[in-house]
Amino acid sequence: MTDLPTLKVKSNITIDTKQSSGRLSRWVAVGLIVFLVLYFVITMNNIRTIDERITAIKDGPYPVSVAAGHVETILTQIRTLAYRPTLTDPDRVIKSVEYSYETNNADLEAQLTLIKEQDDQNYDLAQGLFDDFSVLINAENAFIDYCSSPSVTPEEVEAYVNDNLFPVIDRMLENDLALLASTTNFIDESYDVISGVLLTTTIASIILILGVAASLAIYLTLIYRKNQRERQLRENLESALEIAQNANAAKSTFLSNMSHDIRTPMNAIIGLTTIADTHINDTIRVKECLTRISTSSKHLLGLINDILDMGKIESGKLTLNEEQFSFPELISGFITIIQPQVRAKHLKFDASLPNVKNEMLIGDSMRLNQMMLNLMGNAIKYTPEGKAVSIFIEEEPCERAGYHNYRFVFKDEGIGISPEFLKVIFDPFERENNETTRFTEGTGLGLPITKSIVELMGGTINIESTPHVGSTFTVVIPLKDGIDPEEGDDMAALYGLHMLIVDDDELVRESTHETLSELGIRNETSPSGHHAVEMVQAAHADNDDYHAVLLDRFMPGMDGLDTARKIREIIGDTTPIILVTAYDYNEIQSEAIEAGITAFISKPLFKSRIYHVLKLQCIDGGVETFQVVESAKDAQLQGRVLLAEDNELNSEIASELITQLGPEVEVATNGLEAVEMVDSADENYYQLIFMDWQMPQMDGIEATKTIIDHARRTGRNHPPIVAMTANAFNEHRDMALEVGMDGFMAKPIDVKELEKILRKYLG
């Protein structure tokens, strides 16, 4: 059982699972906190340093330096006082000096006491000052006493001062200045320390501000990116939703189309069966019904095949065969299938492959045929009556050794495709909504299937289309070169013949000219009927008559048949005139014979086909190619077939179809019964076994294995076994051949295929 096609929702949703931005923001936050802590520590440390310095200055050096300043002033005053007793009125002066000494000494003592108490660092200096203070007081007292003597002269006073008083004062001044310098030093140094601390604080603040600003910038960027991602995600989700909704709508449309498309042929089959039943004695009517039932059944089968193909494509199970096939046979089979559709719509049709040299190729011919039928089928379906469709095939070099590229160009003058629809044309179930498609059968599966086949083959497909003008589908596929069985043939039989090619299409003229020249045929070309008649006339007059004329059917001016009539008037009845046409020639056969046509050759013109037709006509005596030759083909077959089939209706149909061709049929209703019937019969009693796959008790695969095994063990031959099954995929075919079956036939039974197999084994 194969699944129905599942709809793939194509979307480009990407959700960032790495969360790199989350990690980044965490690192930024941690960095910021570390910064803040560092800043706090540095700042607190700096404040503490400043505080310590200020306290140290306040408690020691500052008051000490102030006091030292005072001391300096006082000592200077005391020093100055020493000169006063030399002045006039010594008593009064001495009293005044004595008084000044007292006040200054009191002041000095206070300052020195303060210095001694406050200054720990300059203890020696402070102590020295303090010690000298007592010496100074004594010296002052001695000085006052000395000056009080009336006989002492100013010179003696001055000498006394210089010898006894000034040395003490100068020593004290010296110590005081040293103390002052020391405290000033300490204050300067503290100032430097505080400046340094202020600088580091300022730097730390700047770094912190920059850090905060950078973190803020990163944070804002992250938020912006996050918002952007969220917006992108939202958009993706919205588009995924839209795609899902569209897919769902397409699926619903598909189901309703399917229901309609399946019902239409089913309805026809049921209705026509009823009509045939009620007119059972009217054989013409019954035959007509049966023909139409057959058409509807084939349509239904096509539909089911498309759905199954789509299912396989979507589950990736579509595989390709690689086998050698004849390109001319493939193309002629394809043209035979499409000719009735072309005829029914009165379309102009052309098929050409001007430069295709390889006739044997390796690839999946069935899928190639499917691709061509889909694209040409669409071209025909979507082109109004009377317009033109064409297929053009070209062989091109390929990069892969042993391969050639084949360019298939399908052109039509149809309704065209809008640019909007071109965007979704390869999506499953999509059909353009217009008047034509509404009234044309279709599922929207043909193109997706075609595209998948082409891509699986390593090819490409392109569309160019203009609404109301037409479309061109171009497919390029690389195909492996096969081995031409006729390659060894020298094809020399036609050497030296003289021929005329008449075709209005320059490409066809040139390629046919080339092909004939390769075959050693001397040939001329003519673009029109009139001109061709003149050439025939001239050749006749020169006694160089053409041995054959290749004549295109449709040409402007004089068409192929009229040209043939005129030529016949000149050269009589014997020279073969071969009509080249892309159409089914059966319908013009009698008119053509009457016009003097000897044979037909269908377009496109392969070298082998031209060779065979010309050889037949010019060398082998010219058997008319359109004469249907009675052959052994229609003779009744003899023999006995064992049909292993559990379904009664299928068994009845198969039996009937087989017996119509001559052989007898015996039926086994399951695999086990089939094995028993073969075992109990004589060795060559059955000439063929058709084996169903799925059967109760023992399935076809098991039964085949058992029959082969029994035959080997008993040393007998077993009849050829051909699978006849609804398991119609390549893998089933491969499996059947693997277990030892001799052939494979898919249901529903194709009568021609059945006959081919019967003739192979019973003929």
Q: Single out the residue of 90, 328, 354, 414 in contact with ligand ADP (rule: CB under 6 A).
A: 414
Q: CB nearer to ligand ADP: give 97 or 375.
A: 375
Residue 338 binds ligand ADP, judged by CB under 6 A:
no
Distance CA 79, CA 90 (A): 17
Stretch that binds ligand ADP, among 437-445, 547-555, 654-662, 697-705 (CB under 6 A): 437-445
DSSP 372-439: HHHHHHHHHHTS-TT-EEEEEEEEEE-SSTTEEEEEEEEEE-SS---HHHHTTTTSTT----SHHHHT
Q: Closest CB to ligand ADP among 105 and 437?
A: 437
Please, which residue, 6 or 684, has the CB nearer to ligand ADP? 6
Nearest approach, Cβ of 259 to ligand ADP (angstroms)? 15
388-397 vs 403-412, strand pairing mode: antiparallel
Q: Which of 230-238, 374-382, 632-640, 665-673 is the region at the interface with ligand ADP (rule: CB under 6 A)?
A: 374-382
Question: Contact with ligand ADP (CB under 6 A): which of 122, 378, 563, 669?
Answer: 378
Report which secondary-structure segment, H or E, holds 521.
none
In 10 A of CB 334, how many CB atoms? 20
Q: How many residues bind ligand ADP (CB under 6 A)?
A: 20
Give CB contacts under 8 A, 24+ apart, made by 564-572: 564/592, 564/595, 564/596, 564/597, 565/595, 565/596, 566/529, 566/533, 567/532, 567/533, 567/536, 567/596, 568/595, 568/596, 570/533, 570/536, 570/537, 570/540, 571/536, 571/540, 571/545, 571/546
Binding flag, residue 446, ligand ADP (CB under 6 A): yes
**Which residue from 300, 353, 391, 447 is in contact with ligand ADP, where contact means CB under 6 A?**
447
- CB of residue 243 to ligand ADP, shortest distance in Å: 18
Q: Which stretch binds ligand ADP (CB under 6 A): 63-71, 408-416, 537-545, 731-739?
A: 408-416
| Two structure tokens written together for 415 | 């309704």
**Collapsed DSSP state (helix, strand, coil) of residue 642:** strand
- Residue 333 structure tokens: 């089979």
Is residue 68 within the footprint of ligand ADP (CB under 6 A)? Answer: no
Q: Please, what is the minimum distance in Å from the beta carbon of residue 330 to ligand ADP?
A: 20
- Cα 553 to Cα 475: distance, rounded to the nearest angstrom: 28
- Asked if 445 touches ligand ADP (CB under 6 A), the answer is yes
Residues 6+ apart with CB under 8 A from 635: none
Between 5 and 743, CB nearer to ligand ADP:
5
Choose the binding region for ligand ADP from 413-421, 474-482, 504-512, 723-731 (rule: CB under 6 A): 413-421
Which residue of 382, 406, 600, 686 would you call a contact of ligand ADP, by CB under 6 A? Answer: 382
Pairwise CA distance, residues 500 & 493, whole Å: 18
Site membership for ligand ADP, residue 425 (CB under 6 A): yes
501, β-bridge pairs: 525, 550
Residue 700 as a binder of ligand ADP (CB under 6 A): the answer is no
Residue 460 C-beta: closest distance to ligand ADP, Å: 17
The secondary structure of residue 327, as a DSSP letter, is: H
Identity of the residue, 374 or 575, whose beta carbon is nearer to ligand ADP in the bound complex: 374
Q: Distance between CA atoms of 280 and 219, rounded to whole angstroms?
A: 88
User: Is residue 379 within the footprint of ligand ADP (CB under 6 A)?
Assistant: yes
Find the binder of ligand ADP among 104, 471, 523, 655 (CB under 6 A). Answer: 471
Q: Least Å distance between CB 392 and ligand ADP?
A: 15
Residue from 444, 482, 671, 719 binding ligand ADP (CB under 6 A) = 444
Query: With CB under 6 A as the contact rule, which of the stretches 116-124, 148-156, 442-450, 679-687 interacts with ligand ADP?
Result: 442-450
* 296 in Cβ contact with 272 (< 8 Å): yes
What beta strand segments (E) does 467-590 contain?
470-481, 498-502, 522-526, 548-552, 577-581
CB of 337 to ligand ADP, least distance (A): 16
Answer for which of 114, 417, 567, 672 binds ligand ADP (CB under 6 A) is: 417
Q: Which is nearer to ligand ADP, 253 or 589 (CB)?
A: 253
Count H helices and E strands in the chain, helices first: 22, 17
Contact call for residue 642 and ligand ADP (CB under 6 A) = no
Q: CB of residue 450 vs ligand ADP: minimum separation in angstroms?
A: 7
As a whole number of angstroms, the distance between CA 16 and CA 222 comes to: 14
Shorter beta-carbon distance to ligand ADP: residue 200 or 264: 264
Q: Which residues within the stretch 206-235 sit at the binding site for ligand ADP (CB under 6 A)?
A: none
- Cβ(165)–Cβ(144) under 8 Å? no
Strand partners, 668: 644
How many whole angstroms separate alpha carbon 38 and alpha carbon 751? Answer: 94
Which of 415, 535, 599, 745: binder of ligand ADP (CB under 6 A)? 415
Min separation Cβ 374 and ligand ADP, Å: 6
Q: How far apart are CA 41 and CA 51, in angstroms?
A: 15
* Nearest-angstrom CA–CA distance, 47 and 688: 111
Phi and psi at residue 303, to the nearest 5°: -60, -50
Residue 451 lies near ligand ADP (rule: CB under 6 A): no
Q: How many other CB atoms are found less than 10 A from the CB of residue 724?
A: 24
Among residues 412, 552, 646, 692, which is the contact residue for ligand ADP, using CB under 6 A? Answer: 412
Could you tell me which of 617, 756, 644, 613 has the C-alpha nearest to residue 707? Answer: 644
Asked whether 685 and 707 are in contact (CB, 8 A), the reply is no
Shortest CB 745 distance to ligand ADP, Å:
28
Residue recorded with tokens 């399946």: 262
Residue whose CB is less far from ligand ADP, 412 or 692: 412
Please report how close the Cβ of residue 339 comes to ligand ADP at its closest, in angstroms: 18
Residue 370 found at the interface with ligand ADP (CB under 6 A)? no
Q: Which residues bind ligand ADP (CB under 6 A)?
A: 374, 378-379, 382, 412, 414-417, 425, 431-432, 437, 442-447, 471
